[in-house]
Amino acid sequence: MTYLQKILDETKLKNPNELEFQQAVEEILTSIEPVIEKNQAYSDLKVIERLVEPERQIIFRVPWIDRNGQFQINRGFRIQHSSAIGPYKGGLRFHPTVNLSIIKFLAFEQTFKNALTGLSIGGAKGGSDFDPKGKTDVEIMSFCQNFMTELYRHIGQFVDIPAGDMGVGEREIGFLYGQYKRISNTFEAGTLTGKGLSYGGSLARKEATGFGLLYFVNEMLKSHNHSIQGKTVVISGSGNVAMYACKKASELGAKVIAMSDSGGYVYDKDGIDFTAIHAIKEIQRERISKYLEYHPHAEYFQGKRIWDLKCDIALPCAMQNDIDLSAATTLISNGCIAVGEGANMPTTNEAIKLFIENNVLLAPAKAANAGGVATSALEMAQNSSRLSWSFEKVDSTLKEIMTNIFEESSKAASEYGHPGNYVMGANIAGFIRVANAMTAFGAV
Ligand code: GLU
């Protein structure tokens, strides 16, 4: 049995039932084999054995009161995975599917993603099984305040900096920051990112993940002599990442023909209208089927799989494990040339393997969706200097960071014998940065 296989088996034994966490570990360990062979020090110092164990795992009770005056109890999480290269950093997810396995996989991935940005941020993730769907603003506020009443003691601008993820946007960050400010009696803006512009947020933060995804995909296509212009794009999801991916894809000359939510997908042969999606999803918080009220010629498919549509580029921007082997097979036979992961771990390991074997260009989440957290770090920089940058300055810095991530991933893939395999390249480049810091620290 190889050294890495043994670590994987032990991780599975020690973390039974945590399938998503096991999957994320397996993906990284499969990629870094050539690195371990070349660098004895990593195994001597047990760097990998340390990385499969988060530095700290916090689970807490969140009691809150609903609109009927009834007590509700949810479970809160914060996994502080690694502080090797900077303070813990990563989003909060509020979704009924949230459990320890989901938050652990997200925190694990965040460490390598954050390392790829080249900025000084460690990895963390948190959240709750609280379901924001159908809740009133007052209920959301009550939940956020109670969640922060416990979380505040574990975070801080030099300790751990949460941000948004699924179910946590500017509204929730406002409630969370308000409560943090109240109970800590400090205006420590750098403690949360994704803030509103009136109290220390950054321009272009909400666009950053979707825009960054397109900057990465565009670089990847260019380096394989493809142009994004005129390509048809299918995007799963219609949240923050999906929405701004749609906007940037259209600006770059591609045509987004479909987007989805948990109910189904809309298909618009003339190209999805960003303004309508934005109005429905961000302002009205409604279902995507409402798109037909804006564009009656479009079609809505309830409960159908978006990946059955023929497209040149697929951008999974919804949930983990959205593209399985069967969806990948369909995409390949329909002539898809590139996949860009806007969501975290949206492709199963079997589907990743199939894409690579069939020469589909795959922009992996850790690299391709790092624009969000990178811009969070730019928000922290602005908070530290007490200055606000223009949209153009943030956007051009984001573009530079994404181009750099693409180049680093591409270089690492070639250096370790797998040119064009950006999954391996990104995993290797991120791992080396974290591993080198851990090596420097000794046994911590
Ligand atoms: N939740 C986002 C991610 O998956 C952003 C995290 C952040 O800005 O800290 O990277």
| One domain, residues 220 and 86 | no
Q: Is the shortest distance between the CB of 344 and ligand 1 below 6 Å?
A: yes
| One domain, residues 276 and 229 | yes
List the chain pLDDT tens, one digit each, 444 residues. Answer: 699 999 999 999 999 999 999 999 999 999 999 999 999 999 999 999 999 999 999 999 999 999 999 999 999 999 999 999 999 999 999 999 999 999 999 999 999 999 999 999 999 999 999 999 999 999 999 999 999 999 999 999 999 999 999 999 999 999 999 999 999 999 999 999 999 999 999 999 999 999 999 999 999 999 999 999 999 999 999 999 999 999 999 999 999 999 999 999 999 999 999 999 999 999 999 999 999 999 999 999 999 999 999 999 999 999 999 999 999 999 999 999 999 999 999 999 999 999 999 999 999 999 999 999 999 999 999 999 999 999 999 999 999 999 999 999 999 999 999 999 999 999 999 999 999 999 999 888
Return d(Cα 180, Cα 148) in angstroms, integer: 6
Q: Residue 24 belongs to what domain range?
A: 1-53
322 lies in some domain: yes
Q: Is the shortest distance between the CB of 343 and ligand 1 below 6 Å?
A: no
Residue 225, Ramachandran bin (φ over 0: left; ψ between -120 and 50: alpha; else beta): left
Q: Residue type for 41, please?
A: A
Q: Token pair for residue 22? A: 């096991």
Asked whether the beta carbons of 288 and 281 are under 8 A apart, the reply is yes
| One domain, residues 44 and 129 | no
424 lies in some domain: no
Distant-in-sequence, close-in-space partners of 69: CB < 8 Å, separation ≥ 6: none
Distant-in-sequence, close-in-space partners of 262: CB < 8 Å, separation ≥ 6: none
Q: What is the structure's pLDDT at 442? A: 87
Alpha helix ranges (H) inside 32-163: 33-38, 40-44, 47-51, 100-116, 137-151
| One domain, residues 240 and 172 | no
Q: What is the structure's pLDDT at 242? A: 98
Q: What is the structure's pLDDT at 235? A: 98
Beta strands in 231-354 (DSSP E): 232-236, 255-261, 264-267, 299-302, 313-316, 338-340
**Residue finishing a domain among 337, 368, 399:** 368
Q: How remote is the CA of residue 48 from the centroid of ligand 1, in Å?
A: 23
Token pair 């270089």 is at which residue?
A: 411
| One domain, residues 67 and 168 | yes
**Closest ligand 1 atom, residue 165 Cα:** 1
**Closest ligand 1 atom, residue 90 Cα:** 9
301 lies in some domain: yes
Q: How remote is the CA of residue 104 from the centroid of ligand 1, in Å?
A: 14
Q: Token pair for residue 335? A: 């002539």
Active site residue 304: no
201 lies in some domain: no
Q: What is the structure's pLDDT at 1? A: 64
- Render pLDDT for 258-269 as a digit per residue (tens, 0 to 9): 999 999 999 999
- Render pLDDT for 177-192 as a digit per residue (tens, 0 to 9): 999 999 999 999 999 9
390 lies in some domain: no
| One domain, residues 3 and 92 | no
302 lies in some domain: yes
299 lies in some domain: yes
**Residue finishing a domain among 166, 194, 222:** 194
Q: What is the structure's pLDDT at 196? A: 98
44 lies in some domain: yes
Q: What is the structure's pLDDT at 330? A: 98
Which residue's CA lies nearest to atom 5 of ligand 1? 373
Burial tier of 250 (Cβ tally within 10 Å: 0-12, 13-18, 19+):
middle
| One domain, residues 355 and 263 | yes
* Domains in the chain, number: 3
Q: How far is CA 383 from CA 136, 244, 387, in A?
A: 31, 24, 7
**Residue finishing a domain among 171, 194, 217:** 194
Q: How remote is the CA of residue 166 from the centroid of ligand 1, in Å?
A: 10
| One domain, residues 111 and 131 | yes
Q: How remote is the CA of residue 291 from the centroid of ligand 1, in Å?
A: 28
- Among the listed residues 125, 181, 195, 281, the single catalytic one is 125
Return d(Cα 183, Cα 154) in angstroms, integer: 13
Q: How remote is the CA of residue 330 from the centroid of ligand 1, in Å?
A: 30
Query: Using only C-alpha atoms, what is the Rg of the chain?
Result: 21
| One domain, residues 139 and 264 | no
Q: Is the shortest distance between the CB of 104 and ligand 1 below 6 Å?
A: no
Q: Is the shortest distance between the CB of 195 and ligand 1 below 6 Å?
A: no
| One domain, residues 91 and 5 | no
CATH code assigned at 304: 3.40.50.720
